[in-house]
Amino acid sequence: MNGSSTTTRSSRSARGALTTLVTWVLVLLFFFPVFWMVLNGFKPESLASSVDPTFIFKPVTEGYQLAMDRGMAGYLQNSLTAAVIATIISVVLAIPAAYALSIRRVNNVENSLSFFISTRFMPLAAIVLPLFMILKTVGLLDNIYMLAVVYGAMNLPVTVWMMRSFFLEVPFEIIEAARVDGAGMFREIVRIVLPLVLPGVAAAALISFIFAWNEYFLALLLTSSSARTTPPFLGSFVDGRGQFLAVLSAAATIAALPVIIAGWAAQKQLVRGLSMGAIK
């Protein structure tokens, strides 16, 4: 009896060790490209593009200097403007939409949800030309607020879907109690529902922010100079006739920082938020 329990315990701990090992390997696999990017950013250009990988070297900051000299701060500011406004738009519009699709249900919820997500079925390449022509006609090409509105609209379906799954988690008894106490619709959303789903809102907002921050294709085609954002700026370091890996890595490291910091700051809320919709 004692022996069999020891065997079970040791087999359990072996399984645990194996899981830990696999997890670490996976984490390192995912993390290595980021680590390599940061490392390359501190290498001289010739070393960064060398055939033999180098881990120990004298770090230089030429890449960072060059990226900043080329006006990276302006592109970061544009990205921040577009991503923040887009996030506000998508969150502010998604909250009432998700409320109407979960708590105070409108007719044909399923059809509405399918319609929302179907707007994302069409590839961006198919919509970019009509969008370009419309914006050209109304004189809104190369306008950062236009880009923010486009990103907000683009992120809206995903945000609505995410929010709805969080709203469904709210116990109906609480809402009923609020209604019995005479809370109106607005009060019900703001005072009762939102505080309960705040981690979910934070998760949806962060995902919306990341999508807008990283968007490349529309930013390249719908902007030309004053509204250009960071992703196409990063692409501009790629040189078909010369080495560019160090400066590109440095610029990409700077570009990744705001999202990493935002994710870090919201870590606690995020973990709760991301797991909220999953509990059924």
Q: Which of 169, 243, 269, 272 binds another protein (CB under 8 A)?
A: 243
Residue in this structure with the two tokens 């509204």, named with its chain if needed: 227
Residue 167 contacts another protein per CB under 8 A:
no
C-alpha R_g of the chain: 24
Residue 36 contacts another protein per CB under 8 A:
no
Q: Which of 68, 236, 269, 272 binds another protein (CB under 8 A)?
A: 236
Residue 214 contacts another protein per CB under 8 A:
no
Please state, in angstroms and rounded to a whole number, the distance separating the CA atoms of residues 229 and 127: 20
Each residue of 61-90: b (16+ CB within 10 Å) or e? Answer: eebbebbeeeebeebbebbbbbbebbbebb
Residue 278 contacts another protein per CB under 8 A:
no
Q: Are 165 and 277 in contact (CB under 8 A)?
A: yes
Cα 2 to the center of its chain, rounded Å? 52
Please state, in angstroms and rounded to a whole number, the distance separating the CA atoms of residues 279 and 62: 49
Binding mask 73-112 for another protein (x = CB under 8 A): xxx-xx--x-------------------------------
Residue 220 contacts another protein per CB under 8 A:
yes
Q: Are 66 and 233 in contact (CB under 8 A)?
A: no
Residue 65 contacts another protein per CB under 8 A:
no
Residue 258 contacts another protein per CB under 8 A:
no
For the CB of residue 161, give the shortest distance to another protein in the complex, in Å: 22
Please state, in angstroms and rounded to a whole number, the distance separating the CA atoms of residues 131 and 229: 18
Residue 33 contacts another protein per CB under 8 A:
no
Residue 133 contacts another protein per CB under 8 A:
yes
User: Which residues contribute to the site for another protein (CB under 8 A)?
Assistant: 46, 49-52, 70-71, 73-75, 77-78, 81, 129, 132-133, 136, 140-146, 149, 185, 220-221, 224-228, 232, 235-244
